[in-house]
Structure 1
Amino acid sequence: MEYDEMPYAEAKAKAVKVWEDGYGDAVILKDAHGYWALYYFYGFQAPPPTARPHWMEGPVADPATLRPPYAVKRFLEEQGDFDYLNDVD
């Protein structure tokens, strides 16, 4: 399965780190190519288990170069993309 199609529950189960900041979740994965970040923008709510990522970054050699969800959401807004915040209530 491609990372950009990976459901949240599967990604979280394989994660080396999950970064939550109130804007969304960044699920950090590692494979032979490096580190990847899958971004799920659901605010303070947990993404639904079947949610697909809204954005993806990688591969990078150093996971410290990956951006937090807030920075990616801001970047996308600056590029003119619509608001990715989803409401699951």
Structure 2
Amino acid sequence: MDNMIIINVMIDTLNISIDRSGIDENIDLIGEIGARIEIDPYNSNELKVEGKLGNLKVVVTGMEIRIYGSIAKYLKGDNLETLSLEELKMAIEKLE
């Protein structure tokens, strides 16, 4: 048998921070993202929008976007099974 190494990786919790410098400066982050998420009115104001995209928590300011939570649950509805790398790619593309 060949010297084959099999690695199983469990990817569940996603924690992404996208800095403003990587985004077109003409885009209104709060307006654009705020229109796509379920806004939490108690934790949002004119400087920051917090909300949910499915089970993921989203925080948007004029300077960054933060997304965190279970990426497996976002894609599959639960996190009982691990995501393959292809499924992880699909989940991230779904965020776009």
Q: TM range, normalised to the smaller chain?
A: 0.3 to 0.5
Provide the TM-score with structure 1 as the length reference: 0.33
Provide the TM-score with structure 2 as the length reference: 0.31
**Greater C-alpha radius of gyration:** 2
